Structure 1
């Protein structure tokens, strides 16, 4: 019997049964899960799963894949249509920095993990913490897998309208969680231009800005007639 933390003994977050996740999957008759191994159970969980998969020619093969489970998240693009502005953040992202980003300072929409909340509650919380903005009606654009080759996370993406009166706090994130977030209020035209010139390279941010442009919520140089 294994006694590894997160399997039969609680890990640092009090979790057990981490090696059970995925074993009961049966929605796809062409995939049979054989084994799940927890290889890292830090704040998030890395698993190695062995499964049989039937190809289009009917042949079964055995494969192994590693999945990084950090939970699901939510993101929001606040738009002020009257003034033609959007609210974004800028913060240091080490994974981007170590993978060839010039300084690791990424411009992004506000976002965060759901933790124990539903997506709408979570993104209202994150918008207030990061941007200092109180969101009104939310419009869910999609729930997207941002890196499905290895990361399980699904991000619920929203657009919401705001006005200057809705900016009720300073924002900047939670110091206790090591956050040091700069709030950016930009003309939507500039934000869209930042995609073209490479100043915005974050996937969820590109998705939401382009969706807003396609649906007439923001106007950029490519959406003007």
Structure 2
């Protein structure tokens, strides 16, 4: 059997590319072809691609109090579904030119929750929806003190309105189980915390 990853980006031929929308977001249309697994060439086809930069997300965790910080804010993409469009999420922000993911984590921690991370543990990098968007998430768990956490935050000129909640780790795990938290970054990070919680409570309090 052939091994995975026999093809690379060099095997993709982009015959034409044009920007079909440029607003708050950007959309490109591509005409492309690539080899097939059976040895034939794929006929030229078109795809629309949502152009979005990398982002960084952080789950703030206090190992001493065994609490996390979750942010509640309005999300347009959840409007029209059988749920509230105000979601519980992580600290998150888009990576700007010249910033490392760790820089973004600290900036967004301050802007969105009034938090500084004394330590950042990398969880993973993952593609949000590679069938249609370029976005890559850099995901972390960050050490904080939740003693004085909570409140209303956000950058007003960016139309941010964020309510910061302090939640026990156990309650956060329950929110994943019953669907109250249903966005990918939060699910991945919280499940990672379930697997690494005991280790973090030892290492981060050492």
- Measured against the shorter chain, the TM-score band is 0.7 to 0.9
Q: Which residue of 2 aligns with 1:120?
A: 102
Q: How does 1:98-109 map to 2 (within 5 A)?
A: 98=80, 100-109=81-90
Q: Does the C-alpha gap of structure 1 residues 49 and 185 become closer, same or farther in structure 2, counting only changes over 3 Å?
A: same
- Name the Cα RMSD after superposition: 2.1
Q: Which runs of 5+ in 2 are unaligned?
A: 1-6, 201-206
Q: Which residue of 1 aligns with 2:113?
A: 131
Q: Is residue 134–residue 166 contact of structure 1 (8 Å, CA) maintained in 2?
A: no
Cα deviation for residue 43 of structure 1 reads 2.7
Aligned residues: 192
Cα deviation for residue 197 of structure 1 reads 0.9
1:173 aligns with 2:142: no
Q: Is residue 212–residue 218 contact of structure 1 (8 Å, CA) maintained in 2?
A: no
Q: Which residue of 2 aligns with 1:110?
A: 91
Q: Which residue of 2 aligns with 1:48?
A: 29
Cα separation, 2, equivalents of 1:184 and 1:65: 40
Cα separation, 2, equivalents of 1:127 and 1:101: 30
Cα deviation for residue 218 of structure 1 reads 8.7
**1:150-170 CA distance string (max 9 Å, x none):** 111001001111114685x95
Structure 1 residue corresponding to 2:179, chosen from 198, 216, 223? 198
- TM-score of the aligned structures, taking structure 2 as reference length: 0.87
Cα deviation for residue 80 of structure 1 reads 0.7
Could you say which structure has the greater relative contact order, defined with CA pairs below 8 angstroms and 6 or more residues apart? 2
Q: Which runs of 5+ in 1 are unaligned?
A: 1-25, 220-225
Q: Does the C-alpha gap of structure 1 residues 133 and 152 become closer, same or farther in structure 2, counting only changes over 3 Å?
A: same
SS of 1:210 mapped into structure 2: helix
Cα separation, 2, equivalents of 1:207 and 1:177: 27
- TM-score of the aligned structures, taking structure 1 as reference length: 0.80
Cα deviation for residue 108 of structure 1 reads 0.4
Cα separation, 2, equivalents of 1:151 and 1:211: 25
Q: Which residue of 2 aligns with 1:32?
A: 13
